[in-house]
């Protein structure tokens, strides 16, 4: 993993993993990002900035609404996005 992806993983682990799982695999609180629904053609990069900043209404999964994520910056979200997309690519989603 590149240094940039390591930073993305550290940010993902700090802000996202509790609900979206270790290595983006999902939990009982939130969905995996390793699903075709999160393919860039369906959930573009912008969605990965809007949901953490503004929250998101439940629309694909039965986990309930996503609350905004306190304290995450746009720079951190960019690194998180790069990490998520790399994980998707490694798992044939991208």
**What residues contact residue 65 under an 8 Å CB cut-off, 6+ apart?**
55, 56, 57, 58
**Mind listing the pLDDT tens digit for each residue in 22-64?**
999 999 999 999 999 999 999 999 999 999 999 999 988 999 9
CATH at 33: 1.10.760.10
Has residue 94 got a pLDDT over 80?
no
CA 38 to chain centre: 9
From 36, 16, 15, 14, select the one nearest 26 (Cα to Cα). 16
Structural domain harbouring 27? 3-90
Q: How many domains does the chain have?
A: 1
């Amino acid at each position: 993993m590149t240094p940039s992806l390591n930073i993305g993983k550290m940010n993902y682990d700090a802000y996202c993993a509790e609900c979206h799982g270790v290595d983006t695999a999902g939990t009982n609180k939130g969905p995996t990002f390793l699903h075709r629904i999160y393919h860039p053609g369906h959930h573009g990069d912008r969605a990965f900035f809007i949901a953490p900043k503004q929250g998101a209404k439940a629309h694909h999964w039965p986990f309930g609404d996503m609350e905004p994520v306190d304290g995450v910056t746009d720079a951190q979200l960019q690194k998180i996005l790069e990490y998520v997309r790399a994980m998707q690519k490694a798992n044939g989603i991208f």
